Amino acid sequence: MLPPLPGWIAAQPAETLEEAAFRSGAALAHLVLASTPEGVPQALWRDRLALAAAEVCAGLAGRREAASAMRDALHLAKAGDDPGPAGRVSRQWSRAVARPISVTHLANSLEGSGPERIALCLDAAGPTPVDRAAQVIEAVLTDSPRSETAALILADAVLAKSLGWTHVLPLISPALKARDLRLRGDELLLTCHRAVVSGVRQALPLAGSLARAAARLRAVVPKLRAKGAARAVEMFLSQDALAPVALAREMPDSLSDRAARRLCERLVELGALRELTGRDTFRLYGI
CATH architecture of 220-286: Orthogonal Bundle (1.10)
Residue 80 zone, left/alpha/beta (φ > 0; ψ -120 to 50; rest): left
- For the segment 246-252, the average pLDDT, to the nearest whole number, is 90
CA neighbours closer than 13 Å in the CB half-sphere of residue 147? 21
CA–CA distance, 216 with 271 (Å, rounded to integer): 8
CA neighbor of 229 nearest in space, from 215, 244, 239, 241: 244
Instruction: Give the ranges where the chain is alpha helix by DSSP (H).
Output: 17-35, 42-60, 67-75, 84-98, 103-109, 115-122, 129-143, 148-162, 185-219, 229-236, 244-250, 257-269
What are the residues whose beta carbons fall under 8 Å from the beta carbon of 136, sequence distance 6 or more? Answer: 121, 124, 151, 154, 155, 158
Residue 65 has pLDDT above 90, yes or no: no
CA–CA distance, 203 with 14 (Å, rounded to integer): 20
Please, which pLDDT band fits residue 228 given cuts at 50, 70 and 90?
confident
Sequence spans of domains, the chain: 37-212, 220-286
CA–CA distance, 69 with 67 (Å, rounded to integer): 5
As a whole-number percent, the residues of the chain with pLDDT over 90 amount to 74
Residue 166 has pLDDT above 70, yes or no: yes
Phi, psi of 278 (to 5 degrees): 75, 10
Residue 1 has pLDDT above 70, yes or no: no
Residue 67 has pLDDT above 90, yes or no: no
What is the torsional sign of CA 219, 223, 224, 230? Answer: positive
Residue 193 has pLDDT above 80, yes or no: yes
Residue 194 has pLDDT above 80, yes or no: yes
The pLDDT score that the predictor gives to residue 118 is 96
* DSSP per position, 145-212: TT-HHHHHHHHHHHHHHHTT-SS---SSGGG--GGGGG--HHHHHHHHHHHHHHHHHHHHHHHHHHHH
Q: Whole-prediction pTM value?
A: 0.92
CA distances (Å), origin 87, targets 69, 121, 182, 248:
9, 25, 25, 22
Q: How big is the CA angle at 114 (ends 155 and 157), to the nearest 5 degrees?
A: 20
Please, which pLDDT band fits residue 37 given cuts at 50, 70 and 90?
low
Give the pLDDT confidence of 103-157 residue by residue, as tens digits.
999 999 998 889 999 999 999 999 999 999 999 999 999 999 999 999 999 999 9
Please, which pLDDT band fits residue 196 given cuts at 50, 70 and 90?
very high
Residue 80 has pLDDT above 80, yes or no: no
CA–CA distance, 106 with 96 (Å, rounded to integer): 6
The pLDDT score that the predictor gives to residue 140 is 96
